[in-house]
Amino acid sequence: MQTLNERFRGCLIGGAIGDAMGWPLEFMRLDDEINRKYGPQGITNLVKGRTNLVEITDDTQMTIFTAEGILRAENRGRNKGIVHIPSMVHRSYLRWLDTQGVGNEVEKDGWIHSIEGLHTRRAPGNTCLDALISGKMGTMEEPLNNSKGCGGVMRTAPIGLVYKKVEAFKLGCESAAITHGHPSGYLSAGALSYIIAAIIEGLDLETAVVQALEECEKYPSNEECSEQIEKAINLAKSDTPDIQAIESLGEGWVGEEALAISIYCALKYQDDFEKAVITAVNHNGDSDSTGAITGNILGAYLGIIGIPQNWVREVELAVELTQLADDLVNTYENSEEWHQKYPGW
């Protein structure tokens, strides 16, 4: 039986590992480039980047700031009695924007913004940048755009660690809709948050995914996202070769495809984190995002002890991610140190 700390650490660090493994393959084609460079099995291990680190991307950066927004919201809610969680998450995304060299008037307090390793650009998505630079906060009811890129779903796993299933789905949608206005751009995020929440509640992986699909079907314009989730479930039960199955689900550049590829890989290899993540990144599409989401799901499911320990040690910001995961388990502490780390202004 996994402890909460093991599951939370597994979710955050697992996502970072999948992100880091997939990043070198982003924009590469499987047959022409990936297999030629890494061999017939594709990439099978973490590799160091230009900074001599096993580098994360904007996927993990924004996941970290999602977690910060949640913790600051909890602090505010408990001390001021009222809080709008998506607005707090939006403020944290503005702090992330500042780390990307786009200055704005958001508060620069708290320990997350001070992490030096976050102050570097790792191919941030244009939709996220443009939406945050606009100075407006998108919502499901008043979207900023019609984007369904995977920049919403790839960052919302922490919501499922803290909130119960139905609330997690709604908050996942709301957090993604800050930047991505198409239903598939935010419903995929809601579904991921739900899956993580269900895993934390102790459900088996397939049940978690099926229940997330049922919740997704309650929302308007869910058909595209729901069909992809259902297709992923069925493919995971079939004898279809992995490459063919992933190709039939898409390339992962948009939310519903990234989620579906990740669900397929997690279900197909639910007892083997290494195999699942390797499968999730070796394809023609958005390898870092599908790797990150798969890592989030199976990391939560198997816990940190289910992840190769050399990968845990090697991935960038592993120490900070461990601390953040443990803080998410605690959710709130009434101490001066906590108020400094996660100010609830």
Q: How do the pLDDT tens digits run along the chain, 345 residues long?
A: 789 999 999 999 999 999 999 999 988 888 788 999 999 999 999 999 878 889 999 999 999 999 999 999 999 999 998 999 999 999 999 999 999 999 899 999 999 999 999 999 999 999 999 999 999 999 999 999 999 999 999 999 999 999 999 999 999 999 999 999 999 999 999 999 999 999 999 999 999 999 999 999 999 999 999 999 999 999 999 999 999 999 999 999 999 999 999 999 999 999 999 999 999 999 999 999 999 999 999 999 999 999 999 999 999 999 999 999 999 999 999 999 999 999 997
Q: How far apart are CA 293 and CA 15, in angstroms?
A: 6
Question: What are the residue ranges spanned by the domains of the chain?
Answer: 4-339
Superfamily name with CATH number, domain 4-339: ADP-ribosylation/Crystallin J1 (1.10.4080.10)
Q: How far apart are CA 221 and CA 184, in angstroms?
A: 8
Q: How far is CA 244 from the centre of its chain?
A: 24
The full DSSP string for 72-140 is: HHHHHHHHHS---HHHHHHHHHHHHHHHTT---SS---SSSTT-GGGSS-----HHHHHHHHTT----S
Give yes or no for a contact between 293 and 15, defined as CB atoms under 8 angstroms apart.
yes
Could you tell me the CA-to-CA distances from 67 to 44, 50, 264, 301, 328 in Å, in that order?
Answer: 29, 27, 25, 19, 7
Q: How far apart are CA 42 and CA 44, in angstroms?
A: 6
In a 13 Å sphere around the CA of 237, the CA atoms on its Cβ side amount to 6
pTM: 0.98
